[in-house]
Amino acid sequence: MTTLLDIRNLTVTFPGRGRREPTKALSSLSLTLERGESLSVIGESGSGKTTLMRTILGHLPPAEGSVKLFGKDLASAPPEAQTALRQRCAMVSQDPYGSLPPTLTVLEAVMEPWLIVREKNSRREAEKRARDLLEEVGLGEEEIIRSRVRLSLSGGQRQRVAIARALILDPELLLCDEPTSMQDASTRGEIIEIFARRQRAGMSMIFVTHDLFLARRAAPRGIVLHKGKGVEEGPCRDILSSPKDGYTRALVAALPRLSGLGQNHRKEDD
């Protein structure tokens, strides 16, 4: 298999305020991702998950270590090369309100990445692809397609628009930061299947979540982050059934204990 992402001993720091010491958002983190592979990154708020996504795309510089994307070291690549590498990736942000252009219609928002990267005269093809994707994420009604992102959509709908927008250029690597946080259980399953179809066609994915059950559904392999450190990595089934690290054991122990809810989660996983 081809290694698409190779992170070695990555440390990312944020400056301290006043006389405070810098804060380590990520500390000595290492992971790899192969072409067509999916990985769940699991952790609570503040664990470093979003920082990891931003660093992979080169938006935050490593203080130590390296990030190689498609075999290229992002930190040492010239700006033009960084842009070319980013165009092979897409990200679904945790915030669907801030990540979508508010003045565009839903159709225009999904088409926009295509029209920026591809030829302007391919507008007809962009519209067809955008409509197909919106249909796939359950937003195919003409009334929704022609509505303004800012005025007419719920949080869950905006999240699905962001997913369609991220997929329009057929990314080789998809970075998902809590991409189903505003969806109900049935829609979450549909979105996971949309991602799975792309993975079967060769797309790689990193799926960020605080939900251990959802992590297991999204990817066969996972890594648990705690205070910027990777504390446990392995098959998601093993992480759920026999966690090794104390922090992971605490996460598993905090999972819903009501038998009906637990059974529902297990059925979704199967």
- The H-or-E segment that residue 4 falls in is strand 3-14
Regions of the chain short of the pLDDT cut 50: 258-270
Query: 3-state secondary structure string, 54-72?
Result: HHHCCCCCCCEEEEEECCE
Is the distance from CB of 213 to CB of 192 less than 8 angstroms?
Answer: no
Cα angle for residues 13, 19, 22 (degrees, 5° grid): 10
CB 114 within 8 A of CB 108: no
Amino acid at 165: R
Alpha-carbon distance of 101 to 151, in angstroms, equals 12
Question: CATH 3.40.50.150: does it fit domain 1-88+173-199+206-270?
Answer: no
Residue 225 contacts residue 43 (beta carbons within 8 Å): yes
pLDDT at position 25, please? 96
Going by their DSSP bridges, the two strands 3-14 and 23-34 should be labelled as antiparallel
User: Which regions of the chain carry the CATH code 3.40.50.300?
Assistant: 1-88+173-199+206-270
Distances 59 to 82, 83, 114, 175 between C-alpha atoms, Å: 10, 11, 21, 13
